[in-house]
Amino acid sequence: MQTVPAEKKEQKENTMQNQFKIIILEDNDFYNNLLTRQLQNYTDAIAEDKGYEIEIQSYTNASDCIRNLKPDTDVAIVDYYLGDSKNALDMLKVIKEKSPDCKVVVISQVRNIKTSFETLNEGAFTFIYKDRDALMNSCHLVEDVINERMRA
């Protein structure tokens, strides 16, 4: 068995702490691109300012997302209604299984208190309505999660 010197182990842990992974699962191509670009532009400034490496991966179908989901994903922004007869509740279970510390944000244009309550009850971090503020709300939420992790 080979042991890793303490200095290298600490350096690896510091690198992992400075990495932040975000996934976006939105089946509408236009909105997916819009949200991805908005988050990328917003987080580029945060990454530079705080010395973070922020990786954003976006998917338009649940199967691709599940296949590529990493255990160390920090935030998942998931549309409520997805193709292939899937929805955010289905994805919540899978994401929490594969990446238990991931904060799942459900985003939807459906303004239904039952839907938002149900997703929160099933373990979603928060629910964002797709309105004119949704893109900026998503950015602020990601920044809050990054700041929270930096304080930990």
In tens, the pLDDT along 111-127 reads 888 888 899 999 999 99
In the chain, what are the domains? 19-151 (3.40.50.2300)
Cα 26 to Cα 33, 106, 125, distances in angstroms: 9, 10, 17
pLDDT in tens, 40-97: 999 999 898 888 899 999 999 999 999 999 999 999 999 999 987 889 999 999 999 9
DSSP state of 3: P
pTM: 0.86
Q: Which of 12-17's residues contact partners 24+ apart within 8 Å by CB, and which partners?
A: 16/72, 17/149
Helix, strand, coil shares of the chain, percent, nearest 5, are: 50, 20, 30
